[in-house]
Chains A and B, each alone.
Chain A
């Protein structure tokens, strides 16, 4: 009984929280999923029964304590259940990115030695079967949707519902065993293992204990006053720590309902229908939505466009202040209310943000203009700074203290220390246990006192006490003249333009910076349509002289604003190129969470970078591409290099601290 007190109210594991929810919140909705056009709902009591049946089925299949059970597929209640069922029997769930190709999947599955894999459908079954021979410990594959799988050899293949049925049938025999195993779970037993996508090197398995997950979920839920009647939409990759904390950790701690979309394509419609009150998205999602709004406004009638411009300008002026509860003049307030009635309200409903009480963006820095657009509409969008190793939370922005350029104050129970060289260290109840089978990396990242290195450089702003992130510590460098080189700062400014999807800045150790640009096909395609520009492919559109010209204008405009910053004025883009292909995770150029892998891009396109520096006007190049099914091909192109207008930098060369 001694250990009972050590956990949060004696609840030492997610299965224990589930039991509590199944009795205390028995009839409130726990999961919803849209299927066959209708939102299907499971209460906490019903979800607990489903999970129990699956857990019994797992025991029946021979799952032992300490086994790894990989979970691969899109967000579905059944997939979340399989993770909690795995925990209930003492096994460790390992969610994987569903868009991972067979090779990446093989690495992770063999690294953790998963004996069991739970997948959604045939596509994932095929991938696992493809790599099966490389997996030593793999034994059973459980799938959800039987479609197309009838003819497969079922000696190692099981349908999810059948596993549950067998579990139910063996209820009397196996229930004591399940109870024993559930009882053995304590605060230090492993809750989940998540593979970090890693912008460098092979993925690492981050082991998180029940303490990590429950303490983090509890602190964050209390920080934002989450309630049982909150609603979230679970649409982000299940392998991402954020989704695990929001859709499992916080949902189990608070008891709110997790809604799963019908399919990836219907996500926007489902978002509107659910109207979540707690919402989470990486900057990319907000950027895409803003781009879509802007495109649709371009196509709207003149009156609507004028109204949109007029009221958005007003919202930009007073919206954030009103949201933060700062004093705002009577007339401005009235005008904002009017705007809310005819523009902001309907727009928020269309975006699915009508009911958002707390919204977060994290994973990467968000462009300030994008951030303020949503804030000005009255959406309480905040930033947090975190990573898998911290079980998400390192710093968070409290309500009323939200700014685009900082990431807030330390989250509850988190200590932060800034090292001499600017690197951020933290220590918290959420600090990960270890990297699985990798003591070397564990030791490099986490010291004996429990301080974890983030790999990011930053500083605390003296006036507000908020943390400001400069960049990935590894990415921050020095220009040839000693001034600071912080690529993300410039890239984020570039990415604010709807027609720029991705930008990569180079210049570390050089005398000037150059950049790669990826166009946004949706935005540029729409623009091309309106301007009668015909194109047959992404490559052709990206190479169009008019596209080059308009991107050139954006780059020059960004230079103007970069020149304003005394510390970073050296990072202006002198020359740029619009890439002939989109940077893609399948080609290894990005992580599965869509962060650019700088080193790989630098190596792969070395010829283009060289051309940017040697002053040539064109460069012919051939690039290897990987298709979704793993086949490889090559595309070649001749790229035109653009020159941008650069603001001359006067005397003050401030060295980086």
Chain B
């Protein structure tokens, strides 16, 4: 087994730390359907880790296993040095994991600010009554949380829509608001499910910039699923490639690009 503490240095000189999460021989079944077959890989501190693969390869299922939403049928998930038990969603959030969704899941009727503030819920300790009465600790807490939310709003440059109801925003901005909400939770591990899906080139460039900046500025470990190969290769430090529920490649973008199994899966292989 690899040394858990040993990290590596990326091409652009960033120090990547030890293993944060390790997937050990994960298999996931839905009845008779096998979505994920015996996959193992790790995610290291501070890296941008991508999971790619053609449609139906099991990428989203994998992300759901990482997030703890699905419990694997076989295999173990190790998170920060301990085997992870079955958890409820709020417990996952308390572990410092936040995510965005492929199909945006925001509160459409609420303002951008309120949506971002929901990302802070896990950090609010005062009770329901204290919050309703707006007394003592609740007030101080809200101010502190608002500050975090505002920093995120500033970071993602969405000040101009702070008070706008999310339902009125175009798609690209909604995606950014969703990222803002996830960031507001100050996650240690950020999971992005197709952050660029449906975006035009300029929006993709903006989003890539934000992802890199988040990683650089806050040292957040990021795991993302993405279709757009160009984006993945530019952003990621290491890439896992899946096809039909199996892992067919794992390594740096360059290694993956030259992996014959990956080329076959993406470009098709002549049947003989």
Contacts and interface: CB of A to CB of B under 8 A. Distances in A.
A37 interface: yes
A184 interface: no
A266 B159 contact: yes
Interface string B126-146: 000000000000000000001
Tell me if B's interface is mostly helix, strand, loop or mixed: helix
Interface residues of A, number: 13
B91 interface: no
A436 B264 CA distance: 64
Contacts of A623: none
B216 A150 contact: yes
Contacts of B155: 147
Interface in B180-234: 209, 212-213, 216-217
Contacts of B216: 148, 150-151
Interface in B62-112: none
B150 A266 contact: no
Interface in B138-179: 146-147, 150-151, 153-155, 157, 159-160, 162
A263 interface: yes
Contact of B160 (A35, A148, A150, A269): A269
Contacts of B153: 36-37
Contacts of B14: 151
A389 interface: no
B13 interface: yes
B160 A37 contact: no
A266 B159 CA distance: 7
A36 B150 contact: yes
Nearest to A266: B160
B145 to A, nearest CB: 13
A264 to B, nearest CB: 9
Contacts of A147: 155, 213, 217
Contacts of B151: 36
B12 interface: yes
Interface in A248-293: 262-263, 265-266, 269
Contacts of B213: 147-148
Contact of B159 (A148, A150, A262): A262
Contacts, number: 37
Interface in A20-42: 35-38
Contacts of A266: 159-160
A38 B213 CA distance: 24
Interface string B1-41: 00000000000111000000000000000000000000000
Interface residues of B, number: 20
Contacts of B159: 37, 262-263, 265-266
Given A263-B157, A263-B160, A269-B160, A151 B147 contact: no
Contacts of A151: 12-14, 216
Interface in A116-136: none
A153 to B, nearest CB: 11
A641 B159 CA distance: 43
Contacts of A263: 157, 159-160
Nearest to A265: B160
A35 B12 contact: no
B192 to A, nearest CB: 19
A265 B146 CA distance: 21
Nearest to B162: A37
A36 B209 CA distance: 21
Nearest to B217: A147
B247 to A, nearest CB: 31
A35 B160 CA distance: 12
Contacts of B12: 151
Nearest to A36: B150
Interface centre among A37, A38, A262 (most CB of B within 10 A): A37
A223 B159 CA distance: 38
A62 to B, nearest CB: 29
B160 A36 contact: no
A288 B232 CA distance: 41
A148 B211 CA distance: 11
A36 B157 contact: no
A628 to B, nearest CB: 10
A13 B209 CA distance: 43
A38 B147 CA distance: 10
Contacts of A265: 159-160
Nearest to A34: B159
Given A148-B213, A262-B159, A269-B160, A36 B154 contact: yes
A37 B114 CA distance: 13
Nearest to B163: A269
A36 B155 CA distance: 10
B81 to A, nearest CB: 28
Contacts of A150: 216-217
Interface in A426-482: none
Contacts of A37: 113, 146, 150, 153, 159, 162
A292 to B, nearest CB: 15
Contacts of B150: 36-38
A148 B218 CA distance: 11
A34 B159 CA distance: 10
5 contacts: A36-B150, A38-B150, A148-B212, A150-B217, A263-B157
Given A37-B146, A37-B159, A266-B159, 11 more contacts: A36-B147, A36-B150, A36-B151, A36-B154, A37-B150, A37-B153, A37-B162, A150-B216, A151-B14, A151-B216, A262-B159
Interface of B: 12-14, 113, 146-147, 150-151, 153-155, 157, 159-160, 162, 209, 212-213, 216-217
Closest 5 CB pairs of A and B: A265-B160, A36-B150, A266-B160, A37-B150, A262-B159
